[in-house]
């Protein structure tokens, strides 16, 4: 399971969801946001001197520690979660990579606590998520 980076429970659609769907981003809007995040990543890797790398998922651990350095509250959350959830070194760095991608999708230069919290929630199985709280 350590090799699986994102785990998401998808509940069944309720009748209320079908009758009164919530307003959501269109596919075109999401596609533009993803394309922009990919551009941000490519520009970052070019500036870092590694133009052959095109995504956060492909960068080295040393690179992601530099590129995804969290803000102070994010770093504390990451430390606490890594300790309580017993992340492997690989798991720790994969959380950073996912958080960096979430920040890119959000258009943020810094990985914040919110990005790390979301990345951690994708990393842990549902029963382990409560242990992090």
pLDDT tens figures, 81-129: 999 999 999 999 999 999 999 999 999 999 999 999 999 998 876 545 4
pTM of the predicted structure, to 2 decimals: 0.81
Give dist(CA 119, CA 113) in Å, integer.
10
| DSSP, residue by residue, 38-84 | HHHHHHHHHHTT-TT--SGGGS-HHHHHHHTPBPHHHHHHHHHHHHH
Domain borders along the chain are: 27-132
């Amino acid at each position: 399971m350590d090799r699986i980076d994102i785990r998401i429970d998808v509940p069944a659609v309720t009748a209320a969801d079908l009758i009164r769907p919530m307003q959501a981003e269109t596919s075109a809007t999401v596609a533009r946001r993803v394309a922009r995040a990919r551009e941000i990543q490519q520009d970052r890797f070019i500036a870092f001197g590694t133009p052959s790398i095109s995504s956060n998922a492909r960068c080295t651990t040393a690179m992601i520690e530099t590129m995804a350095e969290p803000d102070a509250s994010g770093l504390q959350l990451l430390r606490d979660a890594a300790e309580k959830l017993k992340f492997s070194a690989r798991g720790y760095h994969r959380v950073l990579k996912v958080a960096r991608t979430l920040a890119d999708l959000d258009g943020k230069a810094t990985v914040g606590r919110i990005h790390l919290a979301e990345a951690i929630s994708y990393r842990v199985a549902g029963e382990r998520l409560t242990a992090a709280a």
